[in-house]
Amino acid sequence: MNKETKNKKETRLTPETIRARLQAKYPHGVDLVYINYDDRIEDTGTIEEVITTGYAESFFEAHFEWVAEAQWQSIECVTDETFTTEECEEIADNDALRDAINDWCYEHDRGTPLEDLAKNTGDVWLFYDLGMGISEADCGPEAYKSTARAIAKRLHLSWAKHRGDLIELVNNSYGGRLVVLWNDKLSRFLGEITDKHITFNDPFLCIMDRDQGSGYDVQIEGRLVVEFDRRLLHSDDGAAGYSYAREVCGLIPGPYQINQGWTDKPGRWPVRLSPDTEEIVLAQSGYKKQEARYDAEYKAGGCTFGDDNFRRHQETEYRNEYPCGTHCKRCGQFWID
């Protein structure tokens, strides 16, 4: 090729021809942020964010550089695959042509990084707060039966049918929040959920105390339909406190993969949201903030008196003399046996 024809060919590239060439080469668009099959969301805070919001804004903020780098590399690759070496040199020297490539690629990005990450992440533990707090005294010998009855009433369950299960549930717990616990694919919780009711078939009812790290669950037969407020839905790993399924019980996911859905046609008698929903949400977010402060203190090498979580203390030791229990030498926190 002599110099003249080369120059002629170079001058043919314009933003318009760039777009036409890219369109012809990638009729279905491009995938700018490629997620490897083994990339997954490890951070439990991000999982909680996806469960409660449907998105992972803070994840992409935190990984902004990585995302930008991936996009840049993909665009380089698209350019190399679409244009000849001479054309690539011309593009490298011409801002208008480069902008045309960048703009086209961003406009036609069909990548779904969050969906891909969520798919790779797989199953997660979830709970939905049923709007009922139960104290330790409610589970005691005097009160457990009336507490079990109150749960039946709140959830519109037949006392005759579920009496045994509900008494077992209350009898074996030390108080906490009444929730449905289950295991499900993280990818089901991406984006908005507009249905007004959440449904569970043969759900596991659980009373969990995330602060003390205790709880109990039973499976009840039948369908439960509850008014849905996403602020009451949480990741068991990512919400504040001990995770019930993992840390407290070490549960196997299989049996807990119940059939859960949403509906706008709840039928005759759905379980209403508790009138205290705003307070419940507020308490949970306040709890989360306090937990975040405890976490930060622990990561900075300290610990906090008043923090019940054993994991977040620096110098715990067991004391045999009365009162027996575990003691943190650093902050004075004490756990009686």
Residues that bind Zn ion (CB under 5 A): 303, 313, 328, 330-331, 333
Q: Least distance from C-beta 237 to Zn ion, angstroms? A: 23
Of 207, 155, 206, whose CA–CA distance to 176 is shortest? 207
Q: Least distance from C-beta 199 to Zn ion, angstroms? A: 43
Q: DSSP character for 203?
A: P
Of 239, 218, 100, whose CA–CA distance to 167 is shortest? 218
Of 319, 316, 310, 311, whose CA–CA distance to 329 is shortest? 316
Nearer to Zn ion, 4 or 317 (CB): 317
User: Going by C-beta distance under 8 Å and a sequence separation of 6 or more, which residues neighbour residue 246?
Assistant: 125, 236, 237
Nearer to Zn ion, 22 or 303 (CB): 303
Gap between the Cα atoms of 88 and 79, Å rounded: 7
Q: Least distance from C-beta 313 to Zn ion, angstroms? A: 3
Nearer to Zn ion, 109 or 308 (CB): 308
Nearer to Zn ion, 99 or 315 (CB): 315
User: Going by C-beta distance under 8 Å and a sequence separation of 6 or more, which residues neighbour residue 36?
Assistant: none
Q: Least distance from C-beta 306 to Zn ion, angstroms? A: 10
* Token pair for 108: 């036609």
Nearer to Zn ion, 163 or 330 (CB): 330
* Token pair for 268: 């005759």
Angle at 63 between CA 58 and CA 64, to 5 degrees: 95
Q: Least distance from C-beta 248 to Zn ion, angstroms? A: 21
Q: Least distance from C-beta 328 to Zn ion, angstroms? A: 3
Question: Is the separation of the CB atoms in 226 and 131 below 8 Å?
Answer: no
Nearer to Zn ion, 53 or 316 (CB): 316
Q: Least distance from C-beta 283 to Zn ion, angstroms? A: 24
Nearer to Zn ion, 199 or 304 (CB): 304
User: Going by C-beta distance under 8 Å and a sequence separation of 6 or more, which residues neighbour residue 324?
Assistant: 318, 336, 337
Residue 119: how many CB atoms within 10 A of its CB?
16
